[in-house]
Structure formats: structure tokens, C-alpha cells
Amino acid sequence: MKKHTRRDLLVGAGAGVATTLGLRPARAQTWPNRPVTIICPWAAGGGTDATARIVAAVLEKELKQPFNVINRTGGSGVVSHSAIATAAPDGYTLGIITVEISMMHCQGLTELKPNSCTPLALMNEDPPGVARPFLNFACASSTTSLADASPR
């Protein structure tokens, strides 16, 4: 049995996005009839950029139009998330929304919230974790107990 890689998962997710959106080649296909921009909120070479580029490659192959990934960094993600949220709703500007959109409002950086954008598909999910090798906790509850006892 083949062990699936992250790349396999992302390619499958890209195909799933195309299928979910009904993006199948057809004779009377009207979208896309020109290049599509995908805005990535983080720098080239990172995980979000890699995800965007894999999905763009799958969509480009499937739909026979260029899908260009544009990295718009700055403002802790505010610059790109704002560009995504205010883009014309014509299907020619897509964006990769990251978890930071749920925190920027609370930090007073922007009025953007997760519902400022229309989700199309979940393409990637990264589980968070805490690594403190020198504290040697047996379980998460002992970690939170220490944090509660000595907040900074």
C-alpha cells in the first residue's frame, strides 16, 4: 500500500476544490476565460505559499488558464487578507485565508473577521502544538496548570 505524502493530499485538495466549484472543462465554459490571481498572505517558500502553488498548478492544468500566485506580505497578514476581502467578486481573484484572520480583529489591526470572506474549500490544516522539552510534562493539563499559576 502506497504511503501518501503531503503533496498527494494537496493535489487531491486542489482537485477537490475544482470539483466543488464545478470547475470542469465544458464546451460552453465561460470561467475562467482569462488568468486568475491567487493571493497568498505569506512569503514565497513557506507552507501557505507551497499550498497555494500546488492548488494553482492543479487548477491551471484542469482549467487551461493561468492561476498566478501573488505573495502580498505585510501588516501581520492584514495587507493580503484585506486585498482578498475587498477583491471584486468576479472569480478572478482568489485568496488563501489563514488562521490569522481570526486574530487580527482582536489585536486591533483591522476590522476583518473570518466572515469577511466567502470560503470555497479547506485546502490545508496544520495541527498546532507546544514543545517545551526542558519542562517534561506528562499531559496537557499540567502544562496549562503551570501557565495559569504563573502568567506573564
Peptide bond preceding 89 in cis form (omega within 30 of 0)? no
Is 51 within a domain? Answer: yes
Average pLDDT over residues 2-31: 60
Q: Is the pLDDT of residue 61 over 60?
A: yes
Residue 5, pLDDT score? 64
Q: Is the pLDDT of residue 14 over 90?
A: no
Of the pLDDT bands very low, low, confident and very high (cuts 50, 70, 90), residue 132 is low
Query: Which DSSP category does 100 fall into?
Result: T
- What is the residue whose three cell numbers read 481570526? 102
State how far the alpha carbon of 15 is from the alpha carbons of 10, 56, 105, 137, in Å: 9, 10, 32, 41
Instruction: Identify each DSSP E strand in 17-151 by its residue range.
Output: 36-40, 67-71, 93-95
Is 1 within a domain? Answer: no
Number of domains making up the chain: 1
Residue 124, pLDDT score? 79
Q: What is the CATH number of the domain that holds 12?
A: 3.40.190
Is 18 within a domain? Answer: yes
143-151 contacts: CB < 8 A, separation 24 or more?
none
Peptide bond preceding 32 in cis form (omega within 30 of 0)? yes
Average pLDDT over residues 74-93: 92
